[in-house]
Structure 1
Amino acid sequence: MKKQVLNIFTVIALCTAVVGCKKAKEANTSEAEAAAVSESTTQKYVANVTESTIEWKGFKPTGTHNGTVAIESGVFHVDNGTLQSGTFLIDMTSINAIDVEGDQKKNLEAHLKGTVEGKEGDFFDVTKFPSGAFEITGTQAAEAGKTMLSGNLALKGNKHNVTFPVTITTEGDFITITSDAFSIDRTKWGINYGSKTIFDNLGDKFINDEMELKITVKAKKA
C-alpha cells in the first residue's frame, strides 16, 4: 500500500514538473526603443493577413482561456534573407475566444474587448484602442537556428520593448516569422482587470498577470 501511495505521488510530481516546463518564458521587457531602419537596397515584403495571426492564452485559478487576434497589415524589409526592419498592426476588434461556444464565447469576447455595458474599458478597451502594433527594433542570431527578435509592442496606448525567440524561414517569394510561445506581464500595458497585484481582496477571482502569446506572420515579396 505504501509503495502504491509513493508511486501515485511520484506520478503527480512528474506531471507537475512537465506542466511547469511547458510554461512559456516571459519576454524580456524594457522601455520602447527607436525602430530599426533599413537600407534602400533591402527587399520589401507585405504581410498576408489571412495566413497571419496571434494566438493568446490567459490564466486564472479555475482554468485557462485561449484564442486568436488577427493581423491587420504589415510590411517588412529583408536583406539577403536577414530580417532588417518591419511593422505590423494588430486588429484588437478581432479578439476571438476558441475554447468556449455560444453565449459564453460571446460574453467572454465582449468582456475582453471592453464593450460590455456597464464595464466599458475593461481589458483591451477596443472602442478607444482598436489597433495594437509591433515595430521591429533589432534582431540577433541565437542558438538552434533561431533569431532573438526585439520590438516595441503597443497595446492600449502603452508601448514597451519586448524580446523573444522566432524562427524565420524563406521559401520562394515568401517569408514566415514564427515566434516561440512567450509571455508578457499585461499590467505593464495598463491591462489591469482582475490583477491581484493591482487590486486587493480578489480572493481566488483574480486573473494571472502573465498572458501568453505566439505570433505567426507570413509575408510575400512586393
Structure 2
Amino acid sequence: MKVIKFIASILVAALFVNVAVAGTPSKVSKKATLSVDTKASKIHWLAKKVAGQHEGTIGITSGSLIADGTKVSGGSFVIDMKSIVCTDITNAEYNQKFIGHITTGDFFEVEKFPTSTFKITKVAGSNITGDLTLKGITKSITFPAKIAVVGGKVTATASIPVDRTDFGVKYNSKKFFDTIGDKAIDDVFTLDVTLVAGK
C-alpha cells in the first residue's frame, strides 16, 4: 500500500511539473533570425536647441534580430528617412516648413539618402555596439539596451544619442559656428527605439 501511495505521489508531482513548464512562455530554443515587426516597432526622436525642442517619429522599413536563448547576438534594421514626422508643431504650415527644412541638404538630405541603417557588431552584457549609417557615413556607436525574449518574440528598447556632426550635419552647430548665439541647435539628438521581432 505504501508503495502504491509513493508511486501515486510521484505521478502527481510529475503532472504539476509538466503543467508548470507548459504554462511558462517559451524562449528561443536555438539560434534563430527573427524578422522585425515594422508595425509594432517604432522610433521616437527628440532634438533640442537653445530656444526649445522638437520631437516626432520615424518609421522602420525592415530588419531582423538574431536571438539565441534569452540573448540577442546580432541584427540590423533600416530607417525610412522620408517618413520623418514632427508631432509637437500644431500649426500645419509651420510643421510642413520644418519637415521640409530638416529633410534638405542642411540636415538629412533624404532625397539623396532615403534610408539609414543600424547593424549590431557586438553585444556585451546590456551594451550594444553597432554601425550607424546616416547620409552615407558610417560610425560605430555604443549604448545600453533592454532586451526581453519571451515566447519566441524579442523586444529590444534603447535610447540612442546620436551626434549629428559625426554625419556631416553641421547646420547651426556651435562646434562650427561659435557666434550663432540663441539660434544654436544641439549637436546630439536622441532616438528612442523599440524593436519587436518574431518568426
* Aligned amino acid, residue 157 of structure 2: T
Q: How far apart are the structure 1 equivalents of 2:148 and 2:47?
A: 28
Does 2:98 match 1:108? Answer: yes
155, 163, 175: which is aligned to 1:176?
Answer: 155
- Counterpart position of 1:155: 134
- Percent identity, aligned pairs only, is 37
In the alignment, is the contact (CA less than 8 A) between 2:31 and 2:66 conserved in 1? Answer: yes
| In the alignment, structure 1 residue 187 sits paired with structure 2 residue 165 | yes
Where 2:198 maps in the other structure, the secondary structure is: strand
Residue 44, structure 1, aligned to residue 33, structure 2? yes
Q: Is the 8 A contact 2:47 2:53 kept in 1?
A: yes
Distance 1:55 1:149 in 2: 19
The equivalent position to 1:74 in structure 2, one of 40, 44, 63, is: 63
Distance in 2, Cα, partners of 1:191 & 1:122: 7
Is the 1:95–1:112 Cα contact (8 Å) retained in structure 2?
no
Q: Which residue of 1 aligns with 2:84?
A: 95
Q: Could you list the per-position Cα deviations for residues 61-103 of structure 1 after superposition, in whole angstroms to 9, with x for gaps in the alignment? A: 1101011111110012111121111110110001111111211
| Structure with greater strand percent | 2
1:184 CA drift (Å): 2.1
Pairs within 5 Å for 1:15-30 = none
Structure 2: runs of 5 or more not aligned: 1-29
For normalisation by structure 2, the TM-score amounts to: 0.81
1:27 corresponds to: none
Structure of higher CA gyration radius: 2
User: What letter matches 1:171 in structure 2?
Assistant: V
Unmatched 5+ residue regions in structure 1? 1-40, 115-120, 142-146
CA drift of 1:182 comes to: 3.7
Which residue number corresponds to residue 86 of structure 1? 75
In structure 2, how many angstroms separate the alpha carbons of the residues matched to 1:63 and 1:204? 10
1:170-191 deviation line (CA, Å, top 9, x unaligned)? 2213111101x34221100111
Quote the RMSD (CA, aligned, Å): 1.3
Determine if contact 2:155/2:195 at 8 Å carries over to the other structure.
Answer: yes
Which portions of structure 1, spanning 4 or more consecutive aligned residues, are displaced by more than 4 angstroms?
none
Rounded to whole Å, the distance in 2 between the matches of 1:201 and 1:94 is 33
User: SS of the counterpart of 1:51?
Assistant: coil
- 1-side partners of 2:71 and 2:156: how far apart? 11
Distance across 2 between alignment mates of 1:213 and 1:133:
13
Amino acid at match of 2:172: G
Aligned-partner Cα distance in 2 for 1:185–1:75 = 25
Matched, 1:136 2:115: no
Partner SS, residue 199 of structure 1:
coil
Q: Give the Cα separation in 2 of the matches to 1:111 and 1:103.
A: 12
- Counterpart for residue 143 of structure 2: 164
Q: Which residue of 1 aligns with 2:16?
A: none
Question: Which letter maps to 1:219?
Answer: A
Q: Secondary structure at the match of 1:42?
A: strand
